[in-house]
Structure formats: structure tokens, C-alpha cells
Amino acid sequence: MAEYLDRIKSPADVKKLGMIELERLAEEIRERLIQGVAKTGGHIGPNLGVVELTIAMHYVFDTPRDSFVFDVSHQSYVHKLLTGREEQFETIRQPGGLNGFMLRTESEHDSFGAGHAGTALSAALGMAVARDMSGGSEHVVALAGDAAFTNGISFEALNNMAAQTKRLIIVLNDNEWSIDKNVGAIAEYFHKIATNPTYVNLHDRAAALVEKFGGRAASHIVHKAEEAAKGIVGRGMIFEEFGLNYYGPIDGHNLPLLIETFKFLKKQNKPVVLHALTQKGRGFQPALEKQKKFHGLGPYDPETGETKPAGQKTYSEIFAESLNKLADRNDKVVAITAAMPNGTALDLFRPHHPTRYFDVGIAEEHAVLFAAGMATKGYRPFCAIYSTFLQRAFDQVVHDVALQELPVVFCMDRGGLSGDDGPTHHGLFDISYLRGIPNIIHMNPKDEDELQDMMLTALEHNGPSAIRYPRGTGPGVAVKDYPVALEIGKAEVLQDGSDVAIFALGAMVAEAEKLAKMLKAEGQSIAVINARFAKPIDAECVTKYARRCGVVITMEDHVLAGGFGSAVLETLNTAEIETPVVRVGWPDNFIEHGKPEALREKYGLTAEAAMERVKGMLKRPVGV
Amino acid sequence: MAEYLDRIKSPADVKKLGMIELERLAEEIRERLIQGVAKTGGHIGPNLGVVELTIAMHYVFDTPRDSFVFDVSHQSYVHKLLTGREEQFETIRQPGGLNGFMLRTESEHDSFGAGHAGTALSAALGMAVARDMSGGSEHVVALAGDAAFTNGISFEALNNMAAQTKRLIIVLNDNEWSIDKNVGAIAEYFHKIATNPTYVNLHDRAAALVEKFGGRAASHIVHKAEEAAKGIVGRGMIFEEFGLNYYGPIDGHNLPLLIETFKFLKKQNKPVVLHALTQKGRGFQPALEKQKKFHGLGPYDPETGETKPAGQKTYSEIFAESLNKLADRNDKVVAITAAMPNGTALDLFRPHHPTRYFDVGIAEEHAVLFAAGMATKGYRPFCAIYSTFLQRAFDQVVHDVALQELPVVFCMDRGGLSGDDGPTHHGLFDISYLRGIPNIIHMNPKDEDELQDMMLTALEHNGPSAIRYPRGTGPGVAVKDYPVALEIGKAEVLQDGSDVAIFALGAMVAEAEKLAKMLKAEGQSIAVINARFAKPIDAECVTKYARRCGVVITMEDHVLAGGFGSAVLETLNTAEIETPVVRVGWPDNFIEHGKPEALREKYGLTAEAAMERVKGMLKRPVGV
């Protein structure tokens, strides 16, 4: 079916194709992406944007000898198709299948894994310096979107680059979009370059020349492009000030031009930036029309781009709607996102409170500090940052917010297993990394309505707090018109009992209720407690039930090491209570991607698995 | 004695002085700094550099209505002297005295605390936006050293600045030094501006004009300076590209010029950067001659600058010397510091292995990613980063190093209580934030020789590891010629016993031995175990002694929540052992600055306090 793509068993096969065949290959790849991701879901838009770039890179360079470092690496599908993984492509993001990001253990062509943004330049510089020290001649190419330059690490890398290596190629894949449209001075700066009439003119001439002369014209064009780019922006080019040579902007979909340009860049004796303009979603009309939707999504109709109608509201949506309510009544409430208005659903907040909405770019550290600054002036910032991304701002949470007891609220979406995205996106560490920090309150809602109550609780608390809630939908309970504040550090006893006490956190409350039913069926008297707070833990409730019951069970969608169960152990230790505790949670290894239910089953985070572990520990014999 | 300084009870008193009196005040402040810090120790160099800047700021602005945000804020001594804390100045960094950094709880004039670098611009932007939203007219002034611009957060803030406020004043205090001389493209860039002949000429003219006309000349000079600066660097000015107005460079010690410039900047309707050139250590010859030494140090002779001769080698020095040995034998060993060659003692490594030494600036995130990149190419990077600063790179430790199982070694200096520097510098959280992360090995040496052994252990281990060691000196044991690798996850039994088992980590091993003596004197049989590994914990050893003994005691220089004692509880829980455990460590609050011994006593981290807690739990009656 796919005449050329079927032949590509490794990047060596790409090099065998002529220019017309390469163009045909690009078409086939687009078709494959559109059809394949329609079934699996995934980052279709970004990958359609880098088809020619990736082909050209594999045509000119030679992985795994040369190293490609992709920023975030959600745009690595084309790379996967060209590096021997075409036949497995239908398994991408599926259980046991290909990962949706670069993964070192998946292929020798994936030289550096990612999932979080802004890491490519630094990692690539490390590789380049290592290559230089070893006297190697291989190339290191970093591919980073324009959004990566809203992140501070990219600048830290640029600051070090020119002094540390003479050979490093950075491809700035500029489509003016990260997940949402980029914000800030850098985005504006790139836009200014890309829309400059001199470039537009150059671009047209370049296309004509390539058409006329093919490869032979390209080096001439590149030279012209370089000159023109310098003419456009003068010696003030940000990259030039960092000591790099800047080339571009060039058309990121012009294969011959890209190939000749890479051949030219290979020979440079200075770190270089190639500014390539691409179109996110190119070749798929629905994706071009709805860039934000088609950044990354679930399965869709490959003809129309239609997705299944949204059903029940997600936790993210409940969060945003609740924040609207809070902001309606309290004009000090502000919302901050680090380039995730869609993922966090803050795009539902923005239209209602446009002046109180802040998207700061992929800049989690700045987001938290910005919130801290606002908090000193009486505002109540809600920072909506995924659990895994808040790791980015850990020091600011400690050093700036918690130490100064500032009332910043961290709304940690995707707390717990994230599913398809895999280990870079699971939010399984936030209890352990926050629990040691004084002054922090750490809340976990059992359902949507409780999320809303916890948000009000956080708002009314004059200090820092964090709320973690799962990806996707919850139990789907009705949400009150306006929330009610909870008592801080107070658990909720859902059912009383005297043989076994189950303390469950957040999403695991449902599993706890299932386990309670199973234990009841065996004649046991079961207490089910919605713990609500990982910190401060409800010591009174924990000790009371531990004294009363023969076994305590803790359940959390979090690693066991340092997690909620660990906090229960500490509480019992302090109270000198020796009741046995069975801790249910994730083991001490990184969890692969997959369906949450299947993974929970595999790793024993189910009522059934807990039942097996508890059976032998019951004081009252089973079945009596 | 100090005619003018004695009169300054608040910033309002600064405003009452005439220009000649202000100059005299500056002299008195310098004298006070030199004499005062001679006794207390502290950041003398940076404060001598900002005397005129701080006076001018308080002359023109009006704290606490206006907000000053000082980056790192170790240069806030002058500010403290001018804001009602002159009489307490001799208590700075002393137990119960003034903190060495800005502290919100210490004064209403300290609008934002700090201790870690690169936070000022972001926090100030948050304040400015809050001010704008509230319709306020007060000013926000951020003072940041040139080194702050090697940190990515500053760029994240710059990226957002122009779009979010029209009124924010940034003072770039450029002395070309952070703690060590700055590195990278930005430092070079600033240097290029400062040494441009046009500026030097302008500077001379400005000085002459001020001398001639006083205040009246200043606005003219400022205007000229602005023009000249633009002439020097063209429209490519990095700050201008971020949408800010840039003014300078100006002489940061010319009081009239600074005052007139701030008056001018107050009226601007765009965020502005004032580039002020200052001299670190100005007015104190020893500090000018030895910039690095006089950045921050202990007590010294105020006449000569002599400090007490160094005695016993510090852990940092042992670390550097050991790394030299490892690097001598293994050419893949490289060392990375984030602008702390002196503090980490890597300046002892650099001369021996200059090509394998990397100072990346105050860029902890980049440092770890750079190390990860090198590790993929077969190198063995040792990242020397203080425990508290590694919080900055937490996500890179998780997402880039641990997840990819790359052999990067984190050498966490200042692990445990840091002492005089206070809560921003204590390293009390690294077990809790790292213990939840799979694949990480977390080691704690009991003495200098074991530090060296652990470094070899880390080098020989094909995966990530972390070693935490205390600030200052250790027990002072002899260090072997070449280290021996330890068995990973294996504790060291220092003495066997059967009544009480004490598991101690790192610096607490000495305290454990003291406790053991006290318990022995009461007729108890005591096992003392040097735990060595917080992760993986030696489960075999822990369970063995817990089964044998009546009480287990854990001792750690770390918070209890999620710490080493918590790991012991988890281990016993998994093994279903119910032996009582007494956990000794820091409580769940931020610990103030002070002498470590005094603080350990206050918070119960001593053998004596442990003895009190354990007494009632002993199986064998005391004294039998």
C-alpha cells in the first residue's frame, strides 16, 4: 500500500531514495499518521508538522551514530516510522506498544527520552561536549519547538553553548504553537522574523530556485537565506548574541531546501540554529482548522476529524468551573497556567475572568514565583500545573511559597497514573515530594464535588496548599451550586466498622468501597475512611480506628515510598500503636504507559489484590 | 560615632539628608559593614558593592509602600541598616539575631525573602501585576546581580514582562561576579557593554557633569547615557528585544547620578532595566583584592582581612580531593558545578583536570541535563550541588536522570542543617524528595573516608546516585589513599547488641555512638548501625535487629516526614514487624538560622534528648 514507507526498515533506506521519492514518502507518512493516530489517539498535529524536517534529518544525518534530541519528543512519530518501528506504529500509546515519546530503551535511535519541555538544548550540549572530549566526529541535532524557548532551561543552555562546543545543530521548529498559542516576548520576536517581507520574498525565490535547479541551487539559497536573515534582524539576533550562528527562517516543508541546508550546517564550525517555519497539522484539514484540538487527542474519524462527543465532565472541567464560581465572589482569585489552558481547562476560566487569567508559557518556575509575588499583594493565585510538571517548580514551592507561608494554591491535575502518556506524565510522586515540606496542605478529593470543596478550603486558608486530582473523569457526582469549606486535616468516615479500617485517598476511595463490600461479604465489620488530607493527616481518626480495628489498610494512587501509607505509619509510630498496616500503592519503579485499569491490576492496586493480602491478617476468621 | 547612620531610624530619615550628607552616610555604612561583619561573618563583598545603590533606592522610593525585591538577598545588609535594624546589626547571622537574607517576618521593608538566585524578576513581576490590577501607584524595584541572568527563571520572567506590566524597575547590579566569576554568553555580553570605550568616555563626562551641576545635570546625563548605551549595542540589546527599555551602563557608586536616574525611571511607562556597574568589596582593600574570598566568609580582621587559618579539611575539600583521585584513574569522570566552585571545593579539582571541569552558571536544571547528556555518551558526571539547590533540578533528576537510569552522581554538599544561613540553605529535605523516586541510590557518609568510598561506589554503579554530606568539617578521620567501593544497600554494624538498635545516618552516627554509651551505662546492650543508605535501605539488617531488639532508634539530620526513619517504618511494615521505633530528626517546620549544636539541642536531635524518649521503652529495666 505504502510504496516507499514499506521499504524503510532503517534510516539507511531513506538515503536510497531520490528527491521525488522522498516527496512521495512524505505523503505516505502523512497518510499513515492520520490513519494510525485516528485509532490510537496521540499528538497528530505536531507530527504532521515535522514530516519533511524529520525525513531531511534522517537523509542527511546518520542515527544512531549521530544523535537526535527532540524537545518534549511528542513529535517523534515520524522518526519512529523511519527507524524500524513502522510495523509497530499501530501499537503506539497502546498497552505493551510503542511509547508516545522518545524512549532510550525502545530504540538505539532514541538518544534521549523526554516528555517535559525545554530539555533538548541542555542534553544535546552535554552530548556535544562529550563527543568533543572523546574526539568524535558525530553530529548532535536538537529539534525544539518555539515553545521550548519560553522555558528558562533553553536559555541556560544557550548561555553555555558557544563557550563549550563548536559543533551543535539546533533546529527551531517554529509553528507558533505549543499546545496553545505561545505567549510572551520570544514568541512575538519569532513571529516578527517569520512575517518580515524580506523573508517572505526570499522564501518565494528559494522555492523557485529549488524547482529550477534542484539540489545544486540549495547551497546558494542557504547562503542567501543567511544573508537575508541577517539583513532582517541585524546583528541583534538573540541567538547571535548568545554566540550561535543563526540561519533562516526557511520553509520547513521544502524537502530539497531542508536537505541542502542540513548538508551545509553539518560543515559549520560553530553552534548553529536553523529556524524552520512549519505548519502544525499540515496535510490534514481538520487539524489545520483546529490546531489546539489536534495537538494531542484521543481517537478521531480520519476523514472528518470528528471525535466522540464529550460525555461526563472531567476533573479539569470541574476545576475550571469551580474556579469561576470562586472568582465570581472573590475578586482576589487569579488563575495561572504554564502553557496548558486546554489541558487544565483554564480556557473555561479565561472568558469569564480575562484580566485574572495568566498563561506564562512553559515556565513552571516563573509561574510559581509570579504567584508568590501576587500573593504578597493580597491576591489568591490558583496555579494549575500537572502533578508531574510541578516537579519543575519544586524549589519555588519550598523556598518561595511554603517558607514564606504565602497563600498560593497548587491545583495538580493528572495526579496519579496518567495512562497512555506513560512514565514521563504519571503524577505519582507529589505526596512524597511535598509531604516533607512544612506549611503545605495536601488534599485529595474523592469526587468532583469534593474537589470544589477543597478549592474553597484552599482559598479560605491563609497559607499554601495543594490539591491533586486524577486525569479524566471521576465518579460523576452532582456538584453543589457553591462549595463548602472542609475542616483542614479532617478525614471523612464514610462507613463505620471495627474489624478493618480502610483509609483511602482520592481516586482510591471507590476501590476502598469495593474492597469493603468484599470484606463484608466475608463477615467482617469494615470502616471506610476518605482520608482527604495527605498532609496534615487526620491523626485523631487514624489512631482511633487503628486502636479499634485489627488491620488498617491504606490505598493511594501514588508510590508507596514516602506516600500516604507512609504518613499513616509515621502517625501510628508517633502514637505508639502497633496495629498491622497493609499499604496499597505503586511499587518502587517507573510505571510504563498503558490503560490505568490494566496497570492497576498488574501492580496490585485493586480491591481484589488488597483482599488477597489482607485475608490472612483478619482477626475474625473469614466467612464467620 | 556614626553621625549620620545613627540618625537613620527608617528610610524617611534617608530622605532628609543632603547630597554631601548622603556621601558621608555611605562612608559610615561601609565602615559599619567592615567592622560588623568582621565579627559575625557574612556576605561582606556584595554589600560593600551596593551601598550607594541601596541609599539611592531608599532616597527615591518609599518602602514598605514601594517594594524592593533583592535577588538572593545576601546583599540586603545596607537595606537592613537603613530600615530600622541598625542597632541589631551586630546580631546578623547570630542565633536569635537578624537573618542574613531578606525575611518577610523580620521587617515590613523586606517584601520578599530569598536565598536562592534568580527569583527576583518573577516575584517582582507578580507584585507589579497585582499592583496594576488593584489600581495602585506604588513602585516595584527588583535588584538582581549579573549572575541572576545565568539562571533560566530570569529569562522566563523577561519573556512575560513587557506583556504584563508597564511599570517595573529592574536594577542590574553588574560586578561581573556571582560567588565566582560568571560564565557564559550573558556574562560576556554584559562585559562587552561595560568595557566599550563609548561608555567609558560617557562615564567620565557624567562624573564631571555631576561634579559641576549636581542634581540638575543628572537628567541630562541619564538622557545621554541612554543614547550612548543604544549607540554601543544597537537595537539588538537583549533587554530591548524582550520589550524593556534599557538604560546604562552607569556608575553604580555615583550617588547623585543614581538618585537622578531613579527619579527619571520612576516616571517611565514601560518596564525598565538600569544597568549599574559596581565594584564588589568597594572600600575595603582586602575584599577588592580577593573577591572570591570576600563574597561570603566567617569572621576576619577588619584591618587586614585576615581570617583564622584553615584547620581540618571540610567535607567539600575531601570531596574534591577524592574526585581528583577518581578522575586520575578514570578519564570518563567529569565534574559539574552550578556557579559554586568555591563552595563545593571544585576549585581544587579544576587545576588538575581543567578540561573535565564545567561551571555552568547558576543553572541547576541545565547542570543536571548537561550531565545526563554526557552520561549518554559514556561519561560519569559528578554534579556538585548543595542539597537545597538540587531542589531546583528536581524534575531533571526524576524525568531525565532517574527515569533513564543514567549514571549521574549528585554530590549534595550542605546536606543537613546549614547553620548561620538559615532556612533557605538548610538541606533538610533531600531524603524525602528523592526517596520516592525509583532507581535512585541515596548515600550518607558517617565520616570523610566513607564519603570517598561512596564516591567510588557511585562511580562503579551503572545508574543514578546521590550522596549527601554535611557543611563544614566531619570527625576528621584519616582518608585512605584510594577509596574502596561499598556494597550498595548494605549498612555497617559498628557495634552489636540485643536490647536497643540505633540506626543512624551520616552525621548522626557520632550522636548514635554517644547515645549508645549512655544506654550502656544503664546496663543495656546496644547495637549501633551506620545505615549508610537511605535508599535502598538495608532491609535485611533493619529487620534482623528489629526482631532481636526491644526498641529501634533512628537518627537523621533531616525532617522526619518522609525521611530515613520513615523508610525504616516502611521496611518494618513490609516485614510485618511491630518493634517500637523512636525516630529522631527535625520536626515539621522550617528551622531558623543559628548554631547547629544549639538548634539540635532546641529541637531534640541530641543523644540526651533521645535518651529521655527511649528510657520508658526499654525492656530491660534501666540500671540493671
Subunit contact A134:B160, Cβ cutoff 8 A: no
In a 3-state reduction of DSSP, which class is residue A556?
A: strand
Distance from CA of A393 to the nearest CA of B (A): 7
B391: nearest CB among A188, A363, A394: A394
What does the pLDDT read at residue A209?
58
Q: Residue B264: which of B204, B199, B216, B212 has the closest Cα? A: B216
8 A C-beta contact, residue B175 and residue A151: no
Model pLDDT, residue B323: 98
Q: What's the whole-number mean pLDDT along residues B190-216?
A: 63
Least confident of A133-137, A233-237, A492-496, B281-285: A233-237
Compute the distance between CA of residue A185 and CA of residue A189 in angstroms, rounded to an integer.
6
Kindly report the average pLDDT of chain A as a whole number: 92
Give the pLDDT band of residue B175 (cuts 50, 70, 90).
confident
Q: Which of A137, A573, A590, A614 best probes binding to B when mutated, by most B CB atoms within 10 angstroms?
A: A573
Q: What is the mean pLDDT of residues B78-83?
A: 98
Count of C-beta atoms within a 10 Å radius of residue A34:
21
| Confidence (pLDDT) at B186 | 82
Disruptive mutation site among B369, B430, B589 for chain A (greatest number of A CBs within 10 Å): B369
- Cross-chain residue pair A360–B160, CB shorter than 8 Å: yes
Residue B115 · residue B421 · CB < 8 Å: yes
> What is the predicted pLDDT for the residue at A74?
97
Q: Output DSSP code: residue B486.
A: P
In the annotation, is A480 catalytic? Answer: no
Stretch A393-421: mean pLDDT: 97
Which of B369, B374, B565 lies at the smallest CB-CB distance from A119?
B369
- Round to whole Å and give the CA distance between B19 and B256: 7
Q: Does position B207 have pLDDT exceeding 70, yes or no?
A: no
Say if B567 is an interface residue toward chain A (CB within 8 Å): yes
Q: Average the pLDDT over A323-335 and give the result.
A: 98
Confidence at residue B276, expressed as pLDDT on a 0 to 100 scale: 93
> Residue B208: is its pLDDT beyond 90?
no
A569 touches chain B (CB under 8 A): yes
B163 contacts in chain A (CB < 8 Å)? 183-185
Total beta-carbon pairs less than 8 A apart between chain A and chain B: 363
Secondary structure E strands in B427-525: 441-443, 465-468, 492-495, 500-504
Do residue A366 and residue B153 have CB atoms under 8 angstroms apart?
A: yes
Beta pairing, strands B500-504 & B169-174: unpaired
* A224: confidence class by pLDDT, cuts 50, 70, 90: low
pLDDT at residue A194, as a whole number? 74
Predicted confidence band of residue B231 (pLDDT cuts 50, 70, 90): very low
Q: What is the mean pLDDT of residues A259-276?
A: 92
pLDDT, residue A228, reads: 45
Cα(B412)–Cα(A167) distance, rounded to whole angstroms? 32
Mean pLDDT of B414-434: 96
Identify the band that residue A180 occupies on the pLDDT scale cut at 50, 70 and 90: low
Q: Is the pLDDT of residue B462 over 50?
A: yes
Give the tens place of pLDDT for each residue, A66-91. 999 999 999 999 999 999 999 999 99
State the Cα–Cα distance between residues B142 and A43, nearest whole angstrom.
Answer: 40
* Confidence category of residue A184, pLDDT binned at 50, 70, 90: confident
pLDDT band at B205 (very low <50, low <70, confident <90, very high): low
Query: Is the pLDDT confidence value at A259 over 50?
Result: yes
- Which of A163-177, A463-477, B380-394, B577-591 has the weakest average pLDDT? A163-177
- How far is B352 from A116, CA to CA, in rounded Å? 36
Q: Which residues of chain B are within 8 Å of residue A400 when distances are taken between CB atoms? A: 113-114, 119, 123
With 70 as the cut, is the pLDDT of residue A157 above it? yes
Q: How far apart are the C-alpha atoms of A412 and A427, rounded to whole Å?
A: 9
pLDDT band at A210 (very low <50, low <70, confident <90, very high): low
Would you call A280 a catalytic residue per the annotation?
yes
Q: Whole-number mean pLDDT of chain B?
A: 92
Cα–Cα distances in Å, from A276 out to A175, A273, A296, B135, B407? Answer: 9, 9, 22, 42, 34
Band (A207; pLDDT cuts 50, 70, 90): low
> Omega before B249 cis (within 30°)?
yes
Surface of A (584-603) touching B: CB under 8 A: 588-590
**Quick one: pLDDT at residue B616?**
87
Decide if pLDDT at B194 tops 70.
yes
What contacts B16, CB < 8 A, 6 or more positions away?
Answer: none
Query: Annotated catalytic residue: which of B28, B86, B226, B364?
Result: B364
**Would you tell me which residues 129-188 of chain A have a C-beta closer than 8 angstroms to some C-beta of chain B?**
129-131, 133-134, 150-164, 183-186, 188
Residue B230 has pLDDT above 80, yes or no: no
Looking at the predicted structure, is the pLDDT value of residue A229 above 60?
A: no
**Stretch B63-71: mean pLDDT:** 98
Q: Which candidate from B184, B243, B431 shows the least CB-CB separation from A163? A: B184
Q: What is the mean pLDDT of residues A506-534?
A: 97
Residue B535 confidence class, pLDDT cut points 50, 70, 90: very high
B-facing residues of A in 427-456 (CB < 8 A) are: 428-429, 431-433, 435-439
Grid cell at residue A255: 524537502
Report the pLDDT value the prediction gives residue A191, as an integer from 0 to 100: 78
Longest dimension (CA), chain A: 88
Task: Specify whether the CB–CB gap between B296 and B43 falls below 8 A.
Answer: yes
How many CB atoms within 10 Å of residue B269?
8
Helix axis angle, A508-521 relative to A607-615, nearest 10°? 50
Residue B215 confidence (pLDDT) above 80:
no
List all residues 6 or more positions away from B593 whose beta carbon is below 8 Å from its beta carbon. Answer: B93, B95, B99, B100, B419, B420, B421, B422, B423
Query: Across residues A2-21, what is the average pLDDT?
Result: 96
For range B561-569, the mean pLDDT: 98
As a whole number, mean pLDDT of residues A440-467 equals 98
Residues 6+ apart with CB under 8 A from B467: B409, B410, B411, B412, B443, B444, B445, B451, B454, B455, B458
Q: Inter-chain contact B436–A559, Cβ cutoff 8 Å?
A: yes
Q: What is the average per-residue pLDDT within B297-317? A: 91
Instruction: With CB atoms and an 8 Å threshold, state whether B376 touches A67.
Output: yes
Instruction: State the amino acid at position B185 in one-letter form.
Output: A
Q: Are A169 and A143 in contact (CB under 8 A)?
A: no
For the question of residue A364 being annotated catalytic, the response is: yes
Q: What is the pLDDT of residue A219?
A: 53
What strands lie across the sheet with B492-495, from one edge to the other?
B492-495, B526-530, B500-504, B551-559, B581-586
Q: What is the pTM of this model?
A: 0.94
By residue count, chain B amounts to 624
More confident residue, A332 or B309: A332
Would you call B306 an interface residue with chain A, using a CB distance cutoff of 8 Å? Answer: no
Amino acid at B180: D
Residue A621 has pLDDT above 70, yes or no: no
pLDDT of residue B292: 84
**Residue-by-residue DSSP string for A260-300:** HHHHHHHT-SS-EEEEEE--TTTT-HHHHH-TTTTTSBS-B
Cross-chain Cβ contact A403/B423 below 8 Å: yes
